[in-house]
Every structure is written in structure tokens, then in C-alpha cells.
Amino acid sequence: MPRVRRRTRTAALAAALALVTTGTVAVSQSAAAGVTSLEAAPAVSDLYVDPGTQAYAAWEAASGTDKDLLAKIALTPQSYWVGNWADADHSRAEVADYTGRAAAAGQTGILTVYAIPGRDCGNHSGGGVPESEYARWVDTVAEGIEGSPIVILEPDALAQLGDCDGQGDRVGYLRYAAESLTAAGARVYIDAGHSGWLSAGEAARRLELIGFTDAVGFALNTSNYQTTADTQAYAEQVSAQVGGRPYVIDTSRNGNGSNGEWCNPRGRALGEQPRLVDDATSLDALLWVKLPGESDGACNGGPAAGQWWQEIALELAANAHW
């Protein structure tokens, strides 16, 4: 596969997503000014800020220093996760609501699709749709897509390929999901783990199993803590082995890098704010895929996966370098 020409790819991304190419506006400025509503806050970019997140509710309920810190999270665009914690029709309605609001605002939503059979190999985020139902579930969710959201496809699924039973035809499922979601208008990035997991060569080999007939590129560092610099160096190696395909990086909680733990490690920090990247690399964007303040699981004193944990949210925000 020939290397994708950077100028052409970047122009296509900008046109499809209508994202700004200038730098971000620091939410810390909003916090310092005591922002009390989303309408009063400067936009970070043309990515959509969802007022329905747990962080947003916590920010609205907070006061004083806590409110200023939580503004850093609540007013930053983040991904909307859709999985099988609800039935397929309900998930479709959620997607239609979220992407519809983003489209109505003239902004781009970010979806994370997370329902692969054998999800998380039964760990803190275990579950997923039964093997026989995954294709129908994906098609139903895809029916709800409005506009051209960015989609992060199945975090950990490719990195955990073959690690446990119950995965079915995981490669086939990912291929099908990429096709279905792309046909619905999404720009799909296949999750490929992080720089501390698979070697660059192995990540590239697994990505090629899925292929890029439909998916735009790949995603790295979802819900993890590897630094942006380390992740980008690794990603460029992967990209070079898959025809120069572009990638996105989750920077939501990597401001202090990794301490070797993945489940609610302490002492971490919010990372760089989301933005479109247009340079000589294959990096398309820095995104907040994981929602900071939502627990990784019942570990290190945290609640169940996905539940709001204000203590860790405040810690991440206080440690941010912006």
C-alpha cells in the first residue's frame, strides 16, 4: 500500500470534520475566570463538548477551587462511549442524540464503540455482545449516526486478540464494524493498544489483519497513560509499516506519563487538550477518548469501571501542566 500523502490526507480530514487547524484555547483560562456555563466558555476546538457527562454534572454542582479544577475536564471535548450496557435500540437512540446534538452545533462528536464479544477478557470492563449478535448490534448503532463523527473502534480488542476464550471471529467482527460505521458516515480509527503493550511490528501486523479498506487509521493510548512523545514515536513506526496510515492519540490522562500501572494509578495528570494536528507526521489528532474522572475499575480505591470518582478527577486536574 503506498504511503498516504500528508497534504491530501490532512485536507480531507479538515473538510470532512470541519475541525480548526489553529491551536487550542486553554480551558484553564476559563477556570481562572470562574466560568459558570458552557455558553460562556471559549471553545477548545470544533470538537463537541457534551453537557451530559458526569464531569459536567460534577462541575455544575461544585464551587470554589473544585469548580475551577473540574472546569478543565467538563469543558473539554471528550468521547461518548457506546456499549452493550443497554440494548441495541437504546444504544442507537443514544448515538442519534449525541451525534445529532454535535451536528446541530456545527461540531464533530467522538464516539468510542465498545461491545466486542469477550470484551476486556472478563476483567474490570468485561462483557460485550454475544458473538451471534455483534453484527446486528453494530448495524443498529450505525443507524443512529448523524454527521461525520470520529469513531474509536473497540479499545483493547486488537491488542488482546487471542488472549482469552469467547472472542469468536474477532478479526471479522472488527472488519465488519469498520465497514458498517464508515458507511454510516463515521471516520473510523481502529484501536491498537499502546506503546507499552505490543511491539510496533506486531501492532502493524494485527492492524493489517483488519485492513484499511474502510477504516481511516488507528488509535493509540486509549484509557492509558503513556506520554504523547513516546506514543507518537511508536505510532510513527507502526504507521510506516501500514502504508503511512494516520493515527490519533488519547491524551486525556497522560500529562505525567505512566507509572507502570493501568488501573486508577495515583499521581497522574490531565494531558494536552484535544486538537487537530497538521504537520509532517502521520498524527491526525490528539483526543480525549477516556473520560477523566471516570474510574478504570474497582482497584486502587476506585469504584466500579465508568463510575465518577471526584477525588481522582480533582487530582488529575490539579496536576495538569496547563
**HSE-CB of 236 using CA atoms within 13 angstroms:** 8
pLDDT value for 125? 86
Spatial contact of 288 and 274, defined as CB atoms under 8 Å apart = yes
pLDDT value for 35? 52
Helix (H, G, I), strand (E, B) or coil at 26: coil
pTM for this prediction: 0.88
CA atoms of 287 and 121, how far apart (whole Å): 25
pLDDT in tens, 109-156: 999 999 999 998 988 788 899 999 999 999 999 999 999 999 999 999
**Number of H-type helices and E-type strands within the chain:** 10, 8
Query: Which residue in the block uniquely carries the three cell numbers 475536564?
Result: 73
Active-site residue list: 120, 156, 296
Question: Per the structure block, which three cell numbers stand in for 225?
Answer: 497513560
Instruction: Work out the burial of residue 281: count CB atoms within 10 Å of its CB; fewer than 13 is exposed, 13-18 middle, 19 or more buried.
Output: middle
Could you tell me the strand order of the sheet in which 110-114 lies?
Answer: 80-83, 110-114, 150-153, 187-191, 217-220, 247-250, 283-287, 275-276
Query: Which residue in the block uniquely carries the three cell numbers 465508568?
Result: 306
Angle between helices 54-61 and 64-74 (to 10 degrees): 160
Which top CATH class is 6-319?
alpha beta
pLDDT value for 34? 55
Q: Phi and psi (nearest 5°) for 77?
A: -60, 135
pLDDT value for 20? 31
pLDDT value for 7? 31
**Sequence ranges of the domains in the chain:** 6-319
CA angle 78, 84, 86 (to 5 degrees): 95
Instruction: Work out the burial of residue 275: count CB atoms within 10 Å of its CB; fewer than 13 is exposed, 13-18 middle, 19 or more buried.
Output: buried
Listed in order, strand segments (DSSP E) in 84-185 are 110-114, 150-153
Pick out the chain residues at pLDDT < 70: 1-45
pLDDT in tens, 299-318: 999 999 999 999 999 999 99
